[in-house]
Amino acid sequence: MKKQIIVGALALSTVIAIPVAMANVAAPVAKAATKEKVSISGAWVRPSMMGKDMTAGYMKIKVTGTSDTLTKVAVPMSIGMAQLHETVMVDGSMSMREVKQVVITKGATLKLEPGSYHIMLMGLKSPITVGQKVPITLTFKKKGAVTVTATAVE
């Protein structure tokens, strides 16, 4: 039993070494192979905690028509600054690192979710409270800039 668990866990862990673009190739293929199309859904941010000038935002980014590359995330200066981060596990410890770009293959969905990729919001000028709308602009190599509104929810 122990051996089985280890083998299974190791097999799964190797997936993390595969770039997200490859890991998602099993996603449904786009029906209409039009030009680049980016669909963003489920955008939300976590309200900032008392006394902390940072938090995180999440969403799903689906690319159809062609592959594209997410190169930048931003929020208005009046809110603070944003970076694309990834939570990673090294030797059993979790930490975060900045990610400069992520390739999303045609038909794939990049999930920004807890414990994985997320938009790190830093240097907040004022607290982000429940229900607040936060505009987040994502820049793609082909598609260009796309702005979505993320709602702050617990």
User: Alpha-carbon distance 21 to 102, whole Å?
Assistant: 8
Three-point CA angle 105, 142, 40, nearest 5°:
65
Q: Interacting stretch for other proteins, rule CB under 8 A, among 26-34, 36-44, 113-121, 126-134?
A: 113-121
User: Alpha-carbon distance 128 to 114, whole Å?
Assistant: 18
Name the residue nearer to other proteins (CB basis): 145 or 153.
153
User: Alpha-carbon distance 118 to 86, whole Å?
Assistant: 6
Q: Which residues pair with 134 in a beta bridge?
A: 150
Spatial CA neighbour of 66 closest among 106, 102, 20: 106
Q: Interacting stretch for other proteins, rule CB under 8 A, among 7-15, 34-42, 70-78, 134-142?
A: 7-15
Q: Tell me the per-residue interface mask from 80 to 99 with other proteins, x by CB under 8 A, - otherwise.
A: -----x-xxxxxxxxxx---
User: Alpha-carbon distance 139 to 129, whole Å?
Assistant: 26
Q: Is 59 in the site for other proteins (CB under 8 A)?
A: no
Q: Interacting stretch for other proteins, rule CB under 8 A, among 12-20, 27-35, 65-73, 139-147?
A: 12-20
Name the residue nearer to other proteins (CB basis): 2 or 31.
2
Give the residue, chosen from 50, 78, 129, 131, that forms a contact with other proteins under the rule CB under 8 A. 50
Q: Interacting stretch for other proteins, rule CB under 8 A, among 5-13, 32-40, 61-69, 138-146?
A: 5-13
Name the residue nearer to other proteins (CB basis): 49 or 145.
49
Residues 6+ apart with CB under 8 A from 113: 58
Name the residue nearer to other proteins (CB basis): 58 or 143.
58
In which residue are the tokens 């509104």 written?
A: 149
